[in-house]
Chain A
C-alpha cells in the first residue's frame, strides 16, 4: 500500500464543501471500494461536488481538492508503482482540470514516486493552468535547463511566478540572463515587460548571494 498527502485534510474539505460534501463522501466510498472506479469518478468530481475557489480556503479550488482526495482514497489499495501508473493514465486521458489535479497531487506522493514526464508534458502546453501546476514542489525533479525554461514560460504566458515553488533557492545567473533576453525582445517590440521579471532577477541575485 501507498499513501498520498491531500491538498486539504478530509474533514476540512468536507466542512469547506458544505452540502456538496455528500457528493464527496459518495465518490470517496466508491474509490475506496474499488480504485478502478477512478476512471469514472475522477472526471465527474466537479459536477458531483463543487467548482471554483473554496470560501474558507480561497487559494484552493474545490475540484482540485476533491480530485486529490479521491487519489488519497485509492492509495491504500495500491503500491507506489500502481499509483504512478494510475496517475499517468488519469493524466493521459484527462481534460485540463483533471491533468492539473494530477500535477497538484505529485508533491504529496511518496519520495520515490517521480513523474518528470508529466511535468514535461504540461510544460509543453501553453495552457496556463497546467504550466502553473507543473512548477510546484515536484518541479525539483526537473533538470536545471527544463526548470529554467519552465520559469521563462511562466513569464512568457503570464503565469505569476509565485506559482514557482523554489524560485529563490534555484534561480541562477543563467535564468537571469534568459529573463533579460526575453525582456529585451519585449522592449524592442514596444511591448510591456511583466513585473515578474524583477521577481525573477531579484531571486537570481538572492540565490547567487546565498551560494
Chain B
C-alpha cells in the first residue's frame, strides 16, 4: 500500500512516527500551515514557522524516505489577531516556492469579518499563483461555515476543482460534493470521523474527488489513520486499486495541479531520502 497523506502536521510529530508511517506505506505527505496550539503574537514567528515547513521539516522527512510538501497561509484563528495579519504581505515570497502545493489552511474558525477578509485575500493569491486552496472548515457550526466557504470560493473565480474543503463529515459532504470541490476527510482516533464511517461514505458516494488524511498534530491523533482507512476499505470489499486511488492517486491528482510536487525521490522501496540526495549533492568539492 503506497500512501500520500494529504494533511498532517509533522512539525508536532516524532521520528518514531516517521518510521512507523514509512513502515505503513507513507511515501509522501502535505503539511498545511496552521496554528500551533499556542497562539503567535508577531509576524516573525510565522516566518520562522514557514521556513521550517520548506526547510528543516522537508529535510527531516526525507531522511525517513518520505517526500514532504506544504501549504502556506495565515490560518483563520490567527487571522483575528491584528498583530499577525501583516503576514499576508509575506505570503507571495513563500507561495513562489517548490514543494508549496497549495494556499492553506484558509477558511473559517469563528466566522468573523477578519477571517472572511483574510480568506478572500488568500483565495485571490491562489488564483494569482495558480495554486490549489486547502480550506479548513470550523469545528463549531461546521454546516454554516461550509456553506459560507463555498460562496466565497465561487466568488473568487478559483475553479472548484482547485479547492479541497477539509474536515468534512456526513452532514457537510453533500453540499461540497455538489459544488465540484474536492472533499477532504480527517480520520481521528475518536470524535469527528473514523475509518469505518469513512468507508461508508466511500461506499455511498464513490471514490472521485475524495482525499483521506490523518490530520495528525499535537492533539490526540494518529498518523497511521490513512493506512488504517486503507485496511478498512479492503475489509469492506474495496480492491487494492481502489485503495491506491484514494490514498495515492487522488492526492497526486489534486496537488499535482500546482506543478510543484517533489516526487522524484520516491521509488517503490521509498529508500531514497535526503541522505542519498545529500550524498549526491555533496559528492566532490564545490570550489
Contact = CB atoms under 8 A, between A and B. Distances in A.
A104 to B, nearest CB: 6
A154 B98 CA distance: 27
Contacts of B264: 51-52
B206 to A, nearest CB: 33
A137 interface: yes
Interface size band for A: 20 to 34
A58 B284 contact: yes
Nearest to A89: B93
B260 interface: yes
A61 interface: yes
A39 B286 contact: no
Contacts of A95: 51, 54-55, 58, 97-99
Contacts of A40: 92, 96
Interface residues of B, number: 28
Main secondary structure of the interface of A (DSSP, over half): helix
A162 B285 contact: yes
Contacts of B287: 107, 136-137, 165
Contact of B47 (A93, A132, A159): A93
Nearest to A96: B55
Given A39-B92, A43-B96, A163 B58 contact: no
A93 B55 CA distance: 10
Nearest to B70: A95
B23 to A, nearest CB: 24
A43 B280 CA distance: 21
Contacts of B47: 93
Interface in A133-155: 133, 136-137
A187 interface: no
Contact of A47 (B59, B98, B278): B98
A185 interface: no
B22 to A, nearest CB: 20
CB-based closest 4 A-B pairs: A59-B284, A95-B54, A43-B96, A93-B93
9 contacts: A43-B98, A44-B98, A46-B98, A47-B259, A93-B94, A96-B54, A98-B97, A126-B56, A160-B283
Interface of B: 47, 51, 54-56, 58-59, 90, 92-94, 96-99, 259-260, 264, 274, 278, 280-287
